[in-house]
Amino acid sequence: MRFDILTIFPDFFSSPLAEGMIRRAVQDGLVLIQTHNIRDYATDKHAMTDDRPFGGGEGMVMKPEPLAAAVEQARGSGVDARVVLLTPQGRTLDQQLAEELAGEEQLILVCGRYEGVDERFRAAYVDLEVSIGDYILTGGEPAALVLLDSVIRLLPGVLGCGDSAENDTFSRGSRGGLKYPQYTRPRIFAGREVPEVLLSGDHAAIERWRFLAAVRRTISRRPELVAAMEFTPAERKLLRENDISLPPAGNGGE
């Protein structure tokens, strides 16, 4: 999969792209990531990528011409690329969207700045607007890194364990809820012991414990997620037997 990042601060990505999972994915040839300095596509002698807004007002607006030229250059591979603008006005990034984007051949990530981008560029070139949350950043660069990480880890061969992404919090394996608590050595830490069932070797009992613990944690921490989770009749019976009450709607999956 190919990623092209359009930014006025390409050095922002130097260290993150050279570390951990992303570095390994690049080295293994699973992804190709290129950064493009939007200033290189400006046409004036000062390499301006922003200007004052028509109609007045605070701040600056990113000019359409350099952005458009950078997108056209990034599309040079001939692949049907999807242009994504990182903006607080976009669709909120969640696991479903990450999975959707992981199916693309090429993503062109446009890092917005200042008061945003010229609306004409958005209308003519942008296929999808994405936000990573209801808060404001100084630019789209941190959001682009979050999107990169969330998508790349879903690509085949990137993670060491193929089931890791499938069973993560918010993933299909967790029914869109939170994952169960995790424990490792030592058996006792700060006076707290690992649940005995996890040491029993009884895999069926362990799976039941993890299922119940995950549902309890989701109800406690993110109750709004529970209504969309689906359970089999046997699972609903197990929940009732353990005095776990579910919201009335959205639990009818057979």
Q: Which helix (H) or strand (E) holds 61?
A: strand 61-62
Report pLDDT for 169. 72
Report pLDDT for 216. 97
Picking from 54, 75, 73, 74, the residue whose alpha carbon sits closest to that of residue 63 is 54
Transcribe 157-200 into DSSP letters.
Answer: TSSSSTTTTTTSTTSGGGTTSPPPP---S-SEETTEEPPGGGGS
Residue 200 lies in a domain: yes
Residue 80 lies in a domain: yes
Structural domain of 193: 172-241
What distance, in Å, lies between the first and last C-alpha atoms of the chain?
36
29 and 138 together in one domain: yes
Report pLDDT for 19. 96
Task: Report whether 106 contacts 77 (CB < 8 A).
Answer: yes
Residue 142 lies in a domain: yes
Q: Which residues are catalytic?
A: 88, 115, 153, 168
Peptide bond into 186 cis (omega under 30): yes
Report pLDDT for 248. 66
Residue 34 lies in a domain: yes
**Quick check: pTM over 0.85?**
yes
Tell me, what CATH number does 39's domain have? 3.40.1280.10
72 and 9 together in one domain: yes
- Rounded Cα distance between 232 and 214, Å, is 15
pLDDT averaged per 10 residues in sequence order, the chain, 254 residues: 97 97 97 98 94 96 97 84 97 97 97 96 98 96 98 95 68 80 97 97 98 96 92 95 81 41
Report pLDDT for 80. 87
Residue type, 102: A
Residue 162 lies in a domain: no
Q: How far is CA 148 from the centre of its chain?
A: 7
Report pLDDT for 176. 86
